[in-house]
Chain A
Amino acid sequence: MAAELASQLDLHAVAPPTPHPVRKSIARTWSGLWPKLGAILLTLIFWQLVVWSGWRPQSALPGPWPVAHRLATDLSHFDFYAGMGVTLRRAALGYVIAAGVAVGVAILIGRIELARRSVGSLLVGLQSMPSIAWLPFAILLLQRSESAITFVVVMGAAPAIAAGLLSGIDHVHPLLIRVGRAMGADGLRLYRHVIIPAALPAFVGGLKQGWAFAWRSLMSAELLLVAANQTSIGQLLQSAGKLLDMQQLLAIMIVIFVFGILVDSLFGTLDTAIRRRWGLLGSEA
């Protein structure tokens, strides 16, 4: 009957003419892009003006052009990619372990009241603890190794991810749980079909925050600890500092910055997609 109604109303006749899809998507991309490009341009102009003012000598503060040139040179060298690879591998490994641990802990706390009262209160403390404070502990425990770095990354990311998922689980609408149980879902099936999907938007929020913590922890750890003579981004940054090579330093900082933006926008896209699917955004049409 509702379908009948829709066909009677002839919705197509009422709808306004839509522009060509390709042109529409270009327009949308451009409208999202130009404020960012503008901000970058303004930053570059400001930077160049500061350099031109002669506030600091060129060796202490090189202008955007030499730094861009240096960045291009770096990007054509294998060393740089090797360093990037090491850093990304560490980030990915630590992050995946953190996510796994966090999911386990969050479900445990969500299901068992005693775990909530014990581990749950520790979680808050862990979250507010700067993960780099774990580094000396990690070094004594695991020596100056890859594992020590991974450990610091995990300690940085896991509490945030667990807290996100836990708040998602806690805020599942009780009606949905009743629905699930009324349909015969219990125990793990209730988690799989109702609780976890319902908690997913908050979980993605936690994952995003966890990533930020993981990335910061990793950078700090790499600056402070050279493990197994591996070239990493943090280590390239450190040696550029020691060699007083400001061009190199800025070039690497730009790489770190851009990478952060890329990953963040990835999470942003995921977040929007999920919220739209869950009906948490106003519809666009």
Chain B
Amino acid sequence: MWAPLEREIVVSNVLALSEKHALSVERLSVAFPHGDQVLLALDGTTLEVKRGEFVCVVGASGSGKSTLLNVLAGLDRPSAGRAHVHGRVALIFQESALLPWLTAAGNVELALELRGVPASARRQLAYELLGRVHMTGFEKRRPHELSGGMKQRVALARALAQDADVLLMDEPFGALDAISRDLLHEELLRIWRESRLTILFVTHNAREAVRLGDRVMVFTSRPGRVAHEVRVDLPRPRSLDSPELAVIAGRITDRLKHEVTNGG
């Protein structure tokens, strides 16, 4: 049931070769009909992410970053090339994408149900997962009773409930205030360390990318392609305010500006 992606591509030598890769994207192009024309969102993107790696994708808006995640999550179809995820994926959206008629625990339980967890075990497991994102005491709240940061915590718990190997995050903290975002960065990094998830994190914020990622991929604007790769060797935990981080983020921002002025 997980496998819209795995069903598509079963090439044994690729599997063997990329044993240590959690996801691989090869010359991926995605086009959408847009009025009379065809809009090319991604054009020959190639990307590989190792198991347990935290990779950030930075690009201006409209650079096809979200499209990349949607293809990896099986929500959009590639026009050419291929995208492969080894194992289960979970997707976290920018807006709070909780189902408004379910409580925080209900949202997590639904993910468990769709994964096939028996009914008797769901409640307790959901409470445990909400505890892991520090939402104990808020299990019975509905999304409209929660703040933006809390909603994203629940979304994180729900993604964990999917027992995914790869977590795809589409500007998840973009709408949050600076303090909530900082706290959620710490939370996410802690969960990543504990669970050895592979994370592909899309953002337009270079500082956020440098704070979180092992590597940062800079995308070209429309159509999207990896223009540049930055390996972040700063020791963790990293502070958003550290000068070293600012230097790297500044370089990435320059690069982004360059892409926008040249490509757009």
The interface residues of chain B lying within 8 Å CB-to-CB of A3 are: 134-138
The 7 sampled A-B contact pairs (Cβ below 8 Å) are A2-B134, A6-B137, A175-B95, A175-B97, A193-B110, A198-B99, A279-B100
Q: Is the CB of B93 within 8 A of A178?
A: yes
B234 within 8 A of A: no
Pick the 8 closest A-B CB pairs, nearest first.
A279-B144, A3-B137, A182-B91, A179-B97, A1-B134, A184-B114, A279-B100, A183-B114
B75 within 8 A of A: yes
Q: What are the interface flags for B66-99 relative to A under an 8 Å C-beta threshold, 1 for contact and 0 otherwise?
A: 0000100111000000000000011101010101
Apart from A1-B183, A3-B135, A175-B95, what 18 extra A-B contacts exist at CB < 8 Å? Answer: A2-B135, A2-B147, A2-B153, A3-B134, A3-B137, A175-B93, A175-B97, A178-B75, A178-B97, A179-B99, A182-B73, A182-B90, A184-B162, A193-B114, A197-B101, A198-B101, A277-B142, A279-B143
The interface residues of chain B lying within 8 Å CB-to-CB of A178 are: 70, 75, 91, 93, 97
Q: Is the CB of B142 within 8 A of A279?
A: yes
CA separation between A151 and B229, bound complex, in Å? Answer: 69
The interface residues of chain A lying within 8 Å CB-to-CB of B145 are: 279, 283
Within 8 A of A (CB), among B172-193: 183
- From known contacts A183-B162, A279-B144, infer whether A2 and B101 are also in contact, taking CB-CB under 8 Å: no
CA separation between A176 and B100, bound complex, in Å? Answer: 9
CA separation between A189 and B110, bound complex, in Å? Answer: 11
CA separation between A279 and B100, bound complex, in Å? Answer: 7
Within 8 A of A (CB), among B126-142: 134-138, 142
CA separation between A6 and B162, bound complex, in Å? Answer: 29
The interface residues of chain A lying within 8 Å CB-to-CB of B111 are: 183
B32 within 8 A of A: no
- For the complex formed, measure the closest distance between the CB of B100 and the CB atoms of chain A, giving whole angstroms: 5
Q: Is the CB of B115 within 8 A of A184?
A: yes
The majority secondary structure among interface residues of chain A is: helix
The number of chain A residues touching the other chain, given as a range, is 20 to 34
CA separation between A184 and B74, bound complex, in Å? Answer: 10
- For the complex formed, measure the closest distance between the CB of B70 and the CB atoms of chain A, giving whole angstroms: 8
How many residues on B have C-beta within 8 angstroms of the other chain's C-beta atoms?
A: 36
CA separation between A198 and B143, bound complex, in Å? Answer: 14
Within 8 A of B (CB), among A177-203: 178-179, 181-185, 189, 193-194, 197-198, 200
A30 within 8 A of B: no
CA separation between A187 and B144, bound complex, in Å? Answer: 27
B150 within 8 A of A: yes
Q: Is the CB of B99 within 8 A of A2?
A: no
The chain B residue sitting closest to A1, CB to CB, is B134
The interface residues of chain A lying within 8 Å CB-to-CB of B150 are: 2
Residue ranges of A at the interface with B (Cβ–Cβ < 8 Å): 1-3, 6, 175-176, 178-179, 181-185, 189, 193-194, 197-198, 200, 277-279, 283
CA separation between A15 and B184, bound complex, in Å? Answer: 29
Q: Is the CB of A278 within 8 A of B162?
A: no
- For the complex formed, measure the closest distance between the CB of B17 and the CB atoms of chain A, giving whole angstroms: 28
CA separation between A175 and B137, bound complex, in Å? Answer: 27
Within 8 A of A (CB), among B27-82: 70, 73-75
Q: Is the CB of A278 within 8 A of B100?
A: yes
- For the complex formed, measure the closest distance between the CB of A220 and the CB atoms of chain B, giving whole angstroms: 37
Q: Is the CB of B144 within 8 A of A283?
A: yes
CA separation between A175 and B155, bound complex, in Å? Answer: 13
Q: Is the CB of A278 within 8 A of B75?
A: no
The chain A residue sitting closest to B111, CB to CB, is A183
The interface residues of chain A lying within 8 Å CB-to-CB of B147 are: 2
- For the complex formed, measure the closest distance between the CB of B95 and the CB atoms of chain A, giving whole angstroms: 6
The chain A residue sitting closest to B103, CB to CB, is A277
The interface residues of chain B lying within 8 Å CB-to-CB of A2 are: 134-135, 138, 147, 149-150, 153
B1 within 8 A of A: yes
The chain B residue sitting closest to A197, CB to CB, is B101
The chain A residue sitting closest to B137, CB to CB, is A3
- Residue from the list A6, A182, A278 in contact with B101, Cβ < 8 A: A278
- For the complex formed, measure the closest distance between the CB of A203 and the CB atoms of chain B, giving whole angstroms: 12
The interface residues of chain A lying within 8 Å CB-to-CB of B143 are: 279
CA separation between A1 and B190, bound complex, in Å? Answer: 14
